[in-house]
Structure 1
Amino acid sequence: MEKYELITPCHFGMEAVMKREIQDLGYEISSVEDGKVTFTGDAEAIAYANVFLRTTERVLLQVGKVEAETWDELFEAVKALPWEHYIPKNGKFWVAKANSIKSKLFSPSDIQSIIKKAIVERLKKVYHMEWFPEDGDNYPIRVSFMKDVATIGLDTSGVSLHKRGYRRMTVKAPVTETLAAALLMLTPWKWDRILVDPFCGSGTFPIEAAMMAADMAPGMNRNFLSEDWGHLIPTRCWYDAMDEARERVNLDVETDIQGFDIDGDAIKAARENAKMAGVEKLIHLQQRPVGSLSHPKKYGFIITNPPYGERLEEKANLPGIYRALGERYAALDAWSMYLITSYEDAQKYLGRKADKNRKIYNGMLKTYFYQYLGPKPPRKAD
């Protein structure tokens, strides 16, 4: 099978998690840059990456890298790429997104327009056609300029991979499924350890944790744009990936994953979402305030996305919420706590400084991932 360079974008700061996921699938890393990891793989790798990777937003098939400081240079360089290898005569193609950092060509709309024209000119010459019906399968193109070098890729995923297909109901201020999975992977939590999210909202942290515990692939209940690209990715690649995903699921795993929230509508949404994901029996969900957080066992984890107070009237409640969380955490025996928030005074009201703190952009919002590290449990006797 032909080898491709495949690009997997991720949240800034999550590159190491993404890299480890790709290596666990058995693929070779080509490069790790801010917000993306590139690896080498064949057609089967495109299917497996889309189905199994938890922390990427999409999988891009790299068509080429071109250097350009002028519009003419960009046009000629893009026109020289072998677009006919990827896009058939009736393919519908467009530049879905372009961005530019530290480059002389910086207008996204102009980059999109020039690249589309260059591809059309290439395909007119190769296919001996003056007009393209574009009534076939979709081939969205994404372009990223960095220091005058444009990386050009086809989007194999379509709808962003954070849309697993289970979150039909949502509440305000959710973290995306991909970010929740990445944050869980940044902690030492494993399926046999206790996990509690006292601000679970629509259930993203508990559901992603339960899917990990059950070894449930994040993409097994959704479709991907490139399933229609039979000339590039044989149908059997998708069948193989989906068959393996189904075989790996283990819903008999013993878990202690809890989610609770003071908002009854949030718990209702979380239950509906957990059911859609197929993990409702692995999670205990309950309406209760953070002030009633307790657990009799040791060495558990709080992993949560507490309120940020984005609206002015909510800000007044934040000191009390974070103070209650800090007090309940302090009362737990040998637990760890990880929380993502944009609230600048979080540590003050939690009552102690975090052992580690990582800055993460959740969309355009600057947040902090505060990490309170509890002791490791004793090794289990063999």
Structure 2
Amino acid sequence: MYKRTILVTCPKACADYLAEELQSLGYEPTSLVSNGVFVKGTYEDCIRLNLTLRNGLRVLWEVDNFSARDGEDLYHQAVRMPWEEWIPAEDAYISIVSSVRNDTVVNTNFPNLRLKDAIVDRMREVTGDRPNSGNERDRGVIFLYWHEEEVCIYLDTSGIPISNRAYRAMPGKAPVRENLASSIIAATRWDKSSPFLNPMCGSGTLAIEAALLASGVPGQQLRHEFAFQHFKPFDNARYQEIRKEVRKRIPDSLPFPIIASDIDRQAIRAAETNAKKAGVAHLIDFHICDFRDAPIPEKPGVIVLNPEYGERLGEQRQLESIYKAIGDLFKQSCPGYWGYIFTGNKTLGKRVGLKTKRKIEFYNGPIECRLLEYELYGGTRNPKYANTRD
């Protein structure tokens, strides 16, 4: 099968981490945008990327591009496309999603309806059948990009975003998405061979992603439903072969600790449940404790915290002492470590009381965030951690 343009989308400001991951998988990026990376590949490559990627959201396979001034232009161009090559004639279902910025569009649902009409009319004319349509994204999904007069039409081979790893049975309070957690880890200096500490772990996403990464387990090892299974180029036998090729056995142990802790017993219960579903609970040491009492091995690694960052002024004032205490923990108990705080509140970040090495941009949904990095130099260690195991 010939190669086409593939756009792998990601959260805003995460394209660099996605590009590095794509390169490691043998896909050379042709260009980057703020929320995605372009590569070239076949439909089979889309299947492989859906199964393996950690930092992506959706894998979009371009099937056409053209210019359109208005909705009628869009319809007349789209109705000429050979949709019968991609959509099954019988029992087909499609959902249209879009990103539209065009001055002629008043109703944001209008472009989706015109594209749907074009697909249905073409399929009825060529095959005698028409696909059903709706809003559910668990079957065939078409993505329309229409900015000014530029139109690109993609098969969304993911459907439900690949940030959904299928292990978060208990999501907990305000968790970061799995792919964002993966990109946060990629932004740290963790070498996958030294301790990874995650106090304030919440429902455990950061620790679980670290364990999966260290184990080499593909991002979607647990998931079995994708939109690519509902388009005509899909070959189930080849899909099963690719699943076997990329599947990795989770090791019995790791030569370094991954430690997740939280003062909330319910949070630890959720984290343990999610880790079990991901198959990595035996690779993570869970502790119910205040972050100031979290075990810290002598051998340095990275310590990553995702504290609350408060949306109201009263909450921020209460959190100031927490951020200062994190800074004290870093100074007194983590010599030789790299310390990280993921926060959406720049004011609270200043309460840590340490000089940042880097301030790395991220977005948690619409919230602009920073991953604050601290190089924690060696010094006198708090004696209460002196006998903590490696």
TM-score scaled by structure 1?
0.90
C-alpha displacement at 1:346, in angstroms? 2.6
C-alpha displacement at 1:231, in angstroms? 3.4
C-alpha displacement at 1:251, in angstroms? 3.7
C-alpha displacement at 1:64, in angstroms? 1.6
Instruction: Give distance in 1, aligned partners of 2:339 and 2:53.
Output: 25
1:367–1:52 distance in 2 versus 1, CA, 3 Å: same
Matches within 5 A, 1:1-382: 1-101=1-101, 104-105=104-105, 107-129=107-129, 132=131, 138-226=139-227, 228-229=229-230, 231-247=232-248, 249-293=250-294, 295-310=296-311, 314-331=315-332, 332-374=334-376
Instruction: Give distance in 2, aligned partners of 1:90 and 1:263.
Output: 52
Maintained 8 Å contact 2:56/2:162: yes
Instruction: Give distance in 2, aligned partners of 1:93 and 1:295.
Output: 52
1:224–1:374 distance in 2 versus 1, CA, 3 Å: farther
C-alpha displacement at 1:321, in angstroms? 0.8
C-alpha displacement at 1:329, in angstroms? 0.6
Letter in 1 for 2:168: R
Letter in 2 for 1:239: Q
* Post-superposition CA distance 1:147-174 (Å, at most 9, x none): 4312221222222212111110121111
C-alpha displacement at 1:128, in angstroms? 4.1
Secondary structure of the residue that 1:63 maps to in structure 2?
Answer: strand
1:333–1:141 distance in 2 versus 1, CA, 3 Å: same
1:75–1:261 distance in 2 versus 1, CA, 3 Å: same
1:251–1:3 distance in 2 versus 1, CA, 3 Å: farther
Maintained 8 Å contact 1:47/1:237: no
1:102–1:329 distance in 2 versus 1, CA, 3 Å: farther
Maintained 8 Å contact 2:83/2:123: yes
Instruction: Give distance in 2, aligned partners of 1:10 and 1:96.
Output: 19
Secondary structure of the residue that 1:108 maps to in structure 2?
Answer: coil
Letter in 2 for 1:347: G
Instruction: Give distance in 1, aligned partners of 2:112 and 2:192.
Output: 45
1:279–1:111 distance in 2 versus 1, CA, 3 Å: same
- Higher mean Cα deviation, 137-146 or 49-58? 137-146
1:232–1:75 distance in 2 versus 1, CA, 3 Å: same
Q: Which residue of 2 aligns with 1:380?
A: none
- Higher mean Cα deviation, 204-213 or 188-197? 188-197
Maintained 8 Å contact 2:260/2:285: yes
Letter in 1 for 2:354: R
- Higher mean Cα deviation, 222-231 or 338-347? 222-231
- Higher mean Cα deviation, 306-315 or 58-67? 306-315
Maintained 8 Å contact 1:299/1:375: no
What is the aligned residue count?
374
Maintained 8 Å contact 1:184/1:209: yes
Letter in 2 for 1:7: L
Instruction: Give distance in 1, aligned partners of 2:314 and 2:265.
Output: 20
Maintained 8 Å contact 1:30/1:38: yes
Instruction: Give distance in 1, aligned partners of 2:231 and 2:82.
Output: 18
Runs of 4 or more, structure 1, over 6 Å off, are none
Instruction: Give distance in 1, aligned partners of 2:354 and 2:248.
Output: 45
Instruction: Give distance in 2, aligned partners of 1:235 and 1:2.
Output: 19
Instruction: Give distance in 1, aligned partners of 2:265 and 2:231.
Output: 46
Q: Which runs of 5+ in 2 are unaligned?
A: 379-390
C-alpha displacement at 1:252, in angstroms? 3.5
1:343–1:234 distance in 2 versus 1, CA, 3 Å: same
Secondary structure of the residue that 2:164 maps to in structure 1?
Answer: coil
C-alpha displacement at 1:103, in angstroms? 5.7
Letter in 1 for 2:352: L
Maintained 8 Å contact 1:360/1:367: yes
Instruction: Give distance in 2, aligned partners of 1:321 and 1:230.
Output: 51
Percent identical among aligned pairs is 30
Maintained 8 Å contact 1:75/1:118: yes
Maintained 8 Å contact 2:165/2:220: yes
1:356–1:103 distance in 2 versus 1, CA, 3 Å: farther
Maintained 8 Å contact 2:200/2:307: yes
* Post-superposition CA distance 1:109-161 (Å, at most 9, x none): 011111111112222222245x55679x9311122223431222122222221
Secondary structure of the residue that 1:183 maps to in structure 2?
Answer: helix
1:91–1:56 distance in 2 versus 1, CA, 3 Å: farther
* Post-superposition CA distance 1:167-201 (Å, at most 9, x none): 10121111000000011111221221111111100
After superposition, the CA RMSD in angstroms is 2.4
C-alpha displacement at 1:75, in angstroms? 1.2
Instruction: Give distance in 2, aligned partners of 1:133 and 1:176.
Output: 31
Instruction: Give distance in 2, aligned partners of 1:342 and 1:44.
Output: 38
Q: Which residue of 2 aligns with 1:379?
A: none
Letter in 2 for 1:369: L
Q: Which runs of 5+ in 1 are unaligned?
A: 377-382
Maintained 8 Å contact 1:169/1:202: yes
Maintained 8 Å contact 1:290/1:324: no
